[in-house]
Amino acid sequence: MTYKSHQTHVSPAEEAAAEQVDLKKLVSVVEEAFESIAKITRLPVSEVLHLIEEVDVAQLRQATQEAIKRIAYATGLDTAQITAIFKANRAANVDDIVNRLHEESRIRRSRI
């Protein structure tokens, strides 16, 4: 007979019940994680799941940084100003954002 260093006196039914409790806890953690991402992105949880499946976060971050650099170069604004414009009205369309970027850029150039 082999000796088990972590022998337990748990029946298979108790072990299965404990595993179900662990699964319920994990479901809660996963749901909360996706809900926090959904809140930040203002997307439904189902869309967050698809984004995570399809988008590499590092690639998304890199692409975002490159986009902001290009906008900074074109407008003369710094990244903080550009980010503030994006965050000011998350429901804004491209034309609204372009107009705001242009206006901020014009104001900045007039100060120089």
Size of the chain in residues: 112
Q: Per the domain annotation, does 8 fall within a domain?
A: no
Residues 38, 69, single domain; the answer is no
pTM over 0.85: no
Burial 67-102 (b: 16+ CB within 10 A, else e): ebeebbeebebeeebbeebbeeeeeeeeeebeebbe
pLDDT tens profile 19-73:
899 889 888 888 888 888 888 888 888 888 888 778 888 888 899 899 999 999 9
The whole-angstrom separation of Cα 10 and Cα 76 is: 68
Q: Per the domain annotation, does 101 fall within a domain?
A: yes
The whole-angstrom separation of Cα 67 and Cα 90 is: 17
pLDDT tens profile 86-103:
889 878 889 999 999 999
CA-based R_g, the chain, Å: 25
Q: Per the domain annotation, does 39 fall within a domain?
A: yes
